[in-house]
Structure 1
């Protein structure tokens, strides 16, 4: 019987060659397997290569004998072990890469992770300068970072509070408490600089003093406008104390109003450390108790006045700090000219000794800048006359809203940003989608300009007046502005209306009859 034709790539081809050429002595490895040869009649042959020829396909896997199955089993086990070994090797290589990454951002001196201006502010803090001098450090020379017995760099409580005070003084004045930031750093990382913690649930690595994930920091900059430090191309900056504390404080501020709800300090602390979903879980209760203990301890060793007054001498003020004091550093020349031309403002500024190009904000006992009622009403009148004269918004209503939202503080109060309490995402939406582009928005710092904040506040008030395509009542507009249009209800936002009416009386002209007018639109 002739041998059936085979495809050249058939695995039986070498066997056929050995059978058809008996003069060629086949090697043992090329001899046919007797169990794979079928007799012409369809029965299994005896297995002699000269007595039978290979016919038909090989047996299916399910028909292999026990030896064959055992062999395949051991092969699969061997492959699994090799794969596991490869994964462990990959993990070791990844760990070595991580160690090299950590070494790349390791600092020995404060000067390696602070700008010269920031170092000057640290030396200017009397408590820090005393601690550094007692440790043998000298101004003008590089200052060593403190090290624990394991050699890890950390900040002392004095240094941590100075960093927190500088950050709050620059970016969150009248919004956050530096003692809260200092206590959060204690429970988050123990004030250590190079702590990396991997979160299995979020698959994020939190780094630095306040344990800020690079993804969170980038989101804060991209969506909420916190762009004082650009970390998009260099996330290693998160190991710098002031940079890390800046984004950590921004995240804490966001937690105070996350999910469109006003949150308590306890919620923020427990959510910061344990996550939002576990903020009310019993597992995070000890976190808040430890936070209270640390915060009380910080208050006992450092006076609040020092944290609120880092630069008492006017000659030593940095450019950043001067923006918190002078109108001219916050407001454009055109807006300042309009303020000087306002008769009531002119009278007030001349009386207080202000000069053109050097007009100071008023300050409270904690050195927080704010606007007088005359200034607030003047800003509202200028904004309406220039940009919103056709929308019917009343300056008295805007001034009263500023009173309720921010107590007239330049930076706002608590979670409310700026004079009118308009947050960055809302202002960006008004500019991008609603066409209110008289003032340019680049970062959240732009909303600390009283004119920009007033402009977007007035724009939002005008938009709310036509909410859902119909005229809304004055009570709805005010409550929606202060609590959100989706949350308007007499039970929850009713007090906002009463606060607004009380503040409104401080801006209405007593010579006019205002009994029949709410004076919003």
Structure 2
């Protein structure tokens, strides 16, 4: 496995976080104190921490809040936030931008929980984890965003608990997450679990579970990323119109490459989760409807023809 730094980098938390998530971070008293003690001010951009080599990393306080918010938002009563926090630390050493390329699988693990784009895309296509869309090549760098990376990392950990139709232990999941499923029961991965237990105990001693249970509940409930609803073509246009779109080679190619399936075609969403139509979709719709993209269609879709991707 080759480890290297990616040219992608952020200087501030605000560069890799939704404003709603930023408010959630500030609302946590532990994060607020840590940031304030470091000279950060609410309403101003917050610097990411840097190690002596200048690499961005998350503190344990930050990791735990990101993990807790993610679990409460998407995996409530299904995953332990301390497990996710500890997995994030042992996976990446808390660093945001050091990637690991596996020559055998030809896949690159990215971000705080070392998630590969292939795994994240599979989780979205096959298991329905579509709160964040990284199907498009331009969106893959979103995996460096802490909340997005932890979302997919947690989803993969949840899948490991029941992979191969077997009920798995925490130890199996941790060893499989870090060392691969094939080595989950091999003696070579035993140190992974030992390290994990140490980190998890450190996180527990730093912050008790009760302080995470009611983490900004009002803000969390109202945040824009909580329960984000994707918009589907199937719910906006007739079956005949959709069949017409599928019949066009350019649309078929674009939708197939994006992992869309008949009866479940998503509109594209940008980094801020705003829906938009691609240039191919606009062109084909114009042809099929005699160059009439009417106000009726726009009202059905619910958003304007803008931000068309290249």
Fold shared by both chains (TM-score > 0.5): yes
What is aligned with 2:204?
299
CA offsets, 1:366-391, max 9 Å, x none? xxxxxxxxxxxxxxxxxxxxxxxxxx
Aligned to 1:249: 154
- Give the superposition deviation at 1:202: 1.4
Q: 1:198 aligns with which of 91, 95, 101?
A: 101
- Structure 2 contact 220–226 (Cα < 8 Å) conserved: no
The alignment partner of 1:118 has SS state of helix
Corresponding position: 1:271 with 2:271: no
CA contact (8 A) 1:170 1:321 kept: no
Q: 1:308 aligns with which of 205, 213, 217?
A: 213
Does 2:22 match 1:119? yes
Task: Indicate yes or no: 2:67 matched with 1:164.
Answer: yes
Q: Say how many residue pairs are matched.
A: 230
Q: 2: distance between equivalents of 1:236 and 1:322?
A: 18
Secondary structure of the 2:123 match is helix
Aligned counterpart, 1:109 = 12
d(CA) in 2 for partners of 1:123, 1:276? 37
Tell me the residue number matched to 1:130.
Answer: 33
Unmatched 5+ residue regions in structure 1?
1-94, 331-431, 443-521
| 1:200 CA drift (Å) | 2.1
1:317–1:207 Cα change, 3 Å: closer
Once superposed, what is the RMSD of the aligned Cα atoms?
A: 2.4
Cα distance between partner residues in 2 of 1:230 and 1:305? 33
Does residue 1:153 correspond to 2:53, yes or no? no
Equivalent in 255, 280, 286 of residue 191 of structure 2: 286
Equivalent of residue 219 in structure 1, options 103, 119, 122 = 122
Contact 2:95 2:112 in 1 (8 A): yes
Query: What is the 5 A alignment of 1:60-459?
Result: 102-103=6-7, 105-233=8-136, 234-312=139-217, 314=218, 316=219, 318-320=221-223
TM-score, structure 2 as length reference: 0.70
Which of structure 1's runs of 4+ aligned residues deviate more than 6 A? Answer: 321-324
Structure 1 or 2, whichever has the larger Rg, is: 1
TM-score of the pair, normalised by structure 1: 0.42
Structure 2 stretches lacking a partner, 5+ long: 230-261, 267-310
Any conservation in 1 of the 2:17–2:145 contact (CA below 8 Å)? Answer: yes
How far has the Cα of 1:265 moved from its partner? 0.3
8 Å CA contact retained: 1:170, 1:320 = no
Cα distance change, pair 323–197 in 1 and its aligned pair in 2 (3 A): closer
Query: In structure 2, what is the Cα distance between the partners aligned to 1:126 and 1:305?
Result: 13
- The structure whose RCO (Cα within 8 Å, separation 6+) is larger is 2
The question of whether the paired residues in 1 share the 8 Å contact of 2:20 and 2:223 is answered with no
- CA distance in 1 between counterparts of 2:98 and 2:186 reads 25
Q: How far 1:317 moved relative to its partner?
A: 5.0
